[in-house]
Amino acid sequence: MGEVRTKPPFPFEAGQKIHIDGGPRGGDWEVIGVTERKVKLRCPVSFKEFNWDRFCYCYEVLVGVERPGRD
């Protein structure tokens, strides 16, 4: 039988700081709004805001990190 992989929806919460590796949404983001169907993200550099359909990613939680992806 074949292999099946599942990805649960990311549990977005307003106030989270997230980093997305690669793709058109790649970079640092602040979660500023969440509905059942949409997530509103703000770039912490340009302060541009985007409403996107909620999406799924594999993720890990990093504690004690100011900005993910930065040394």
pLDDT of 12-51, one tens digit each? Answer: 999 999 988 888 889 999 999 999 999 999 999 999 999 9
Contact predicate 38/32, CB 8 Å: no
Whether 71 maps to a domain, the answer reads: no
Q: At which residue do the structure tokens 């106030």 appear?
A: 15
Among candidates 9, 41, 12, 10, which has minimal Cα distance to 27?
A: 41
Q: How many domains does the chain have?
A: 1
Which residues, other chains included, contact 34 with Cβ-Cβ below 8 Å and sequence gap of 6+? 12, 13, 14, 40, 54
Whether 56 maps to a domain, the answer reads: yes
Query: Which pLDDT belongs to residue 59?
Result: 66
Average pLDDT value for residue range 57-61: 69
Domain that includes residue 48, residue range: 8-65
Query: What pTM did the predictor assign?
Result: 0.71
Whether 3 maps to a domain, the answer reads: no
